Amino acid sequence: MSQSTPSIPQGTRDFGPEIMVRRNYIFDTIRQAFQLFGYPPLETPAMEKTETLTGKYGDEGDKLIFRILDSGDYLGPVDAQTLNAAAEKNAGQGKSTTTQNADALRAITKEISSRALRYDLTVPFARYVVMNHNKLTYPFKRSQIQTVWRADRPQKGRYREFYQCDADVVGSDSLLYEVELVQLFDHVLTQLQIPSVIKINNRKILAGIADIAGIGDRMMEMTITIDKLDKIGVDGVMKELRERGMSEDAISILQPFFDLQGSTKDKLTQLRTILQSSEVGMKGLDELQTVFDHVDRLGLRSAEIELDVTLARGLNYYTGAIFEVKVKGLQFGSICGGGRYDDLTGIFGLPGVSGVGISFGADRLYDVMLDMGLFDQVQVQNTQVLVANFGGPEEQAAMEAVQALRRAGIRTEMYPDASKMKKQFKYADDKSIAHVLIIGEEERQQGKVQLKNMSTGAQSICTLEEAIAQL
């Protein structure tokens, strides 16, 4: 039997030790910020029931959910009548046989896949809140750093398996939490030294725009299309709106919103004039004004904040403020996002629990920091000392030294066998270990150790206690 070359699925990655040191620097920075702002950790399962996830991310999002085939005879529950009905429904529509088969399989997905991998952390969090509603103290804050999966087309900055780092609070509609989350963005990105622009909008403003354009009942289609602005540009958005059957009158009313100029204050003034006939639109403007006023008074450490009325974020569950963070001066996708959801728990039978949350894209943060050379200043926590191995009674003395060094908090390794010193020194060099501690026969008999600095080549003879003090 021939052996195949091992590989990993497209859109996933292995992370070696050097990369993990850098990734952990990002995770540790975010985790410490979550603790500082009072967001304790929470974890949920990697897989959820399919019904928990579907219908929460819009049609486009649902297509990106990784579904898991049921165990065993997964086609068992699917009878011939169901298969034939699915096939007949798609027959005679001018589709290829391959497309018809694919459509038929999608039609029976519910029958063969009852579980799916997490698409994000927000919906599982809402499910957790509903299941534990009577045990929680509100407002309930939580942070979560876990992997999510999306069946997206892999490209630079876009993966099928990646980490999200979320902070959410539910049980309050206070806009002070929007302000706090803007500060949290600013704190983390300042710590990581990433120059950033926090873009903010409000879904109520988008609802108001849809109202005055006469397409209030098609707001979701409008936001899904506008959400593609960065990818397809204004002309592409207008073209897709026409393809969706929206009138030229509606499109002409939408056009000015893509051309707003001036500062955030100027844009808010222009929007108040345009949206004055829309109650929901004016409410969204009032909410944004409150957030901007607080942020202006408090100030940010390094991030900039701006109103972007074209920011849509196509997820169905957002109802108020929406956030997206871009890297200043770098052509890159968004690195963070979030927003308010007034009734996400309602889909699970617990209405009226408002929440707001944000998410840091750790993988994109890593790519940005790598491109900008920001990891050059990250202190790699390498092994500090390699204890050489001479075998025999010296090996026992070396093991005792390793134990003493570790108990003193010094990161220590011992070479596993009595190889030539040249080989042991090369191992230390290859792993950037700063010191080698040597206990040969002479040192053991004298109760001494020899400490070699691998950078300078300097060697000194001293007691183990003195060596620990030096290190």
Residue 173 has pLDDT above 80, yes or no: yes
Residues 227-245, mean pLDDT to the nearest whole number: 83
Which pLDDT belongs to residue 100? 58
- Rounded CA-CA distance 139/118 in Å is 25
Give the tens place of pLDDT for each residue, 248-263.
888 888 887 877 888 8
Q: Which residue has the higher pLDDT, 4 or 359?
A: 359
Looking at every residue in the chain, the average pLDDT score rounds to 88
Residue 138 has pLDDT above 80, yes or no: yes
- Percent above pLDDT 70 for the chain: 90
Place of tokens 């010094």: 410
Q: Please say whether the dihedral angle defined by the alpha carbons of residues 168, 172, 173 and 179, taken in this order, is positive or negative.
A: negative
Q: Band the pLDDT of 58: cuts 50, 70, 90.
A: confident
Residues 8-35, mean pLDDT to the nearest whole number: 93
User: Range with the lowest mean pLDDT among 25-39, 103-117, 201-215?
Assistant: 103-117
Q: What is the 3-state secondary structure (H, E, C) of the chain?
A: CCCCCCCCCCCCCCCCHHHHHHHHHHHHHHHHHHHHCCCCECCCCCEEEHHHHCCCCHHHHHCCCCEECCCCCCCCCCCHHHHHHHHHHHCCCCCCHHHHHHHHHHHCHHHHCCEEECCCCHHHHHHHHHHCHHHCCCCEEEEEEEEEECCCCCECCECCEEEEEEEEEECCCCCHHHHHHHHHHHHHHHHCCCCEEEEEEEHHHHHHHHHHCCCHHHHHHHHHHHCCHHHHHHHHHHHHHHHCCCCHHHHHHHHHHHCCCCCHHHHHHHHHHHCCCCHHHHHHHHHHHHHHHHHHHHCCCCCEEEECCCCCCCCCCCCCEEEEEEECCCCCCCCEEEEEECCHHHHHCCCCCCEEEEEEEHHHHHHHHHHCCHHHHCCCCCCCEEECCCCHHHHHHHHHHHHHHHHCCCCEEECCCCCCHHHHHHHHHHCCCCEEEECCHHHHHHCCEEEEECCCCCEEEECHHHHHHHC
Whole-model pTM: value is: 0.83
Angle at 381 between CA 378 and CA 386, to 5 degrees: 145
Token readout for 344 is 């996400």
Residues 367-375, mean pLDDT to the nearest whole number: 92
Which pLDDT belongs to residue 295? 97
Residue 119 has pLDDT above 80, yes or no: yes
Residue 274 has pLDDT above 90, yes or no: no
Residues 279-286, mean pLDDT to the nearest whole number: 94
Residue 68 has pLDDT above 90, yes or no: no
Residues 3-8, mean pLDDT to the nearest whole number: 87
Residues 224-232, mean pLDDT to the nearest whole number: 80
Which pLDDT belongs to residue 394? 95
Which pLDDT belongs to residue 260? 81
Give the tens place of pLDDT for each residue, 306-351.
998 888 876 667 899 999 999 998 888 889 999 999 888 888 889 8
- Rounded CA-CA distance 132/42 in Å is 13
Which pLDDT belongs to residue 343? 81
Q: Band the pLDDT of 96: cuts 50, 70, 90.
A: low
